[in-house]
Amino acid sequence: MSNDYENGENIKSCIILCGGKSSRMGQDKGSMIIQDKPMIKHILSTLNHQITEAIIVLNDKERIDRYCGFINPDDYSFDLSFVEDKIKDKGPMPGIMTGLGEIKSDYALVLPCDSPYVSKNYINTIFNEIDTDYQAIVPYHDDEDRLKTSEPLHSIYSRNIIPEIESLIEGDVLHIKGLIEKIDAKFVLIDNKKIEKKEFRNLNRPTDI
């Protein structure tokens, strides 16, 4: 077991997915004001001093320009970049693929822009679970069915799964749990001790706020 990256053992990368249509919310979720600041800035604040780089994946140049208008990379301890989703309107899997193609490390934590309750403790815990024998580190709720109760949008992925993602997208298999089935995944229990369930609460609809 090893927690070292092949290309720089101290690099910690995070991919934040902001390419969704937010149809249930009725507006762009990442830029929504929650407790006096855009939702994505809650996540960025949590990541501060915890990671080395963050890649924010957005669905078009117009949204990139908008996010650049209210996010100042100089406010954070990590390198921050904005990239355009290579494949549009196909769900989060292309966003993961796009982000993995940009990272400097061999692994990245993936987070959605609508999960403002992720804590620094979770960031540290999940990174400490990295094992180079596996291609993904996936938290889950119930031992009876790890895959079904997993949280694939709060997981760590190796960049070496990019060809697998490309193959699934070509076959129009877009469900991330379909990806986890095909790669070597290490499952980590959400036990309300080391990892708390509240970390995974996201805001999909106005009634969730």
Render pLDDT for 136-178 as a digit per residue (tens, 0 to 9): 999 999 989 999 999 999 999 999 999 999 999 999 999 999 9
Scanning the structure block, which residue is given the tokens 């997993």?
150
36 annotated to bind ligand: no
Q: Which pLDDT band holds residue 1 (cuts at 50, 70, 90)?
A: very low
75 annotated to bind ligand: no
Determine the Cα–Cα distance for residues 169 and 123; give it in Å rounded to an integer. Answer: 28
Three-state SS at 206: helix
Contact, 17 vs 63, CB < 8 A?
Answer: no
Q: Are strands 13-18 and 53-58 parallel, antiparallel or unpaired?
A: parallel
Q: Domain locations in the chain?
A: 13-203
Determine the Cα–Cα distance for residues 156 and 109; give it in Å rounded to an integer. Answer: 4
Please name the residues in contact with 72: beta carbons below 8 A apart, sequence gap of 6 or more: none
85 annotated to bind ligand: yes
Mean of pLDDT over the chain: 90
Cite the DSSP H helix spans in the chain: 39-47, 61-70, 92-100, 120-128, 162-170, 176-182
29 annotated to bind ligand: yes
17 annotated to bind ligand: yes
pTM above 0.75, yes or no: yes
Q: Which pLDDT band holds residue 6 (cuts at 50, 70, 90)?
A: very low
Q: What is the pLDDT of residues 71-88, one digit of tens each?
A: 999 999 999 999 999 998
CATH number of 13-203: 3.90.550.10
